[in-house]
Structure 1
Amino acid sequence: MIGRLHHTVIDCPSPGDLAEFYAELTGLPVTYRSDDWVVISRDDTTSGIAFQRAPDHRPPRWPDPAYPQQFHLDVMVDDLEVADAAVRRIGAQRLPAGDHVYADPAGHPFCLIRRPSWAPPISRA
């Protein structure tokens, strides 16, 4: 092994706003915050998702290859319809291509997927 995954880093124009969106979506708290860098993770010693300020950020356009998706997250949920309403309430927009494909507030695509049977139920703490 050469290394261990630390954070998935997402470029965006407003790290604090996008971190709050994903904190609400995933239930992970914000564990670090500066003007240009915000992290959500289980705790301050756990890898997570980091949001980095990119002043010239160009949002992807799903599924336009001229504006590639750059990354996407699959988020497992117990109930797709309940989750659809919840992600729209916190600022996601449904994208026309694909089933349960959304854009976060900075335009990055993400998908809601039905929780596989092997995964424990999603619980809101």
Structure 2
Amino acid sequence: MTVAKTSVLVLDCAEPLELAEFYAALLGAEIHRGDDPDFVEIIGHRGVHLAIRRDLGHAPPSWPRPEDSLQSHLRILVGRDDLDEAEREVVGLGARPVETGERGGPREVRRYSDPAGHSFSLAVSPAPVTAPPSPDHR
């Protein structure tokens, strides 16, 4: 028997409730607080599930500078026609655009840091892949 599993991306920061409020507003999710004041979960629609954990020694990565590698980042998918509006929303909530030096081509991915310095991006949601008809399908 296989045990049912789910996963949660946990972000470390100095002020978990403040960061949870940022992501809850951005993702249209709810904040769930348990007995541990240093651990907050954000749960929303369509499988959104993040957690924020207090780490008083947290230092955000320096990405995209080469001194530190990108440890992980959250990619938030939006419709192609909604990308500009989503960008206004994240900046209005306190995110900071991250300059990556990429200048060519359409900007289907835009990078930011959240109020605690974690990297995330807004990206155009890929079109659903449709399988070719089966040879037996007539």
Normalised-by-shorter TM-score class: 0.7 to 0.9
Which entry has the higher C-alpha Rg, 1 or 2? 2
Match for residue 42 of structure 1?
44
> After TM superposition, which residue ranges in structure 1, 4 or more long, deviate above 6 angstroms?
none
Cα separation, partners in 2 of 1:88 and 1:47, compared to 1, 3 Å: closer
Equivalent residue number for residue 71 of structure 2: 70
> C-alpha offsets along residues 13-58 of structure 1, whole Å, 9 cap, x if unaligned?
1100111111111111102254211101139xx8821100010111
The residue type equivalent to 2:84 in the other structure is E
Q: Does 1:88 align with 2:98?
A: no
Q: Percent identity?
A: 36
> Distance between the aligned counterparts of 1:49 and 1:61, measured in 2?
22
Q: Give the aligned partner of residue 16 of structure 1.
A: 17
TM-score of the two chains, using structure 1 as the length reference: 0.81
- The code of the aligned residue for 1:83 comes to A
1:117 aligns with 2:120: no
1:40-91 Cα offsets, whole Å, 9 max, x none, are 1139xx8821100010111111213433332201101121110111000000
- Structure 2, unaligned runs of 5 or more: 103-108, 129-138
- How many Å separate the matches in 2 of 1:85 and 1:47? 21
Distance 2:89 2:63 in 1: 21
Distance 2:48 2:23 in 1: 15
Aligned residues: 117
Point out the more displaced range, 91-100 or 31-40: 31-40
> Does the 8 Å CA contact 1:60/1:68 hold for their aligned counterparts?
yes
| Runs of 5+ unmatched residues, structure 1 | 119-125
Which of 96, 109, 113 is the matching residue for 1:103? 113
Q: Would you say the 8 A contact 1:15–1:53 is kept in 2? A: yes
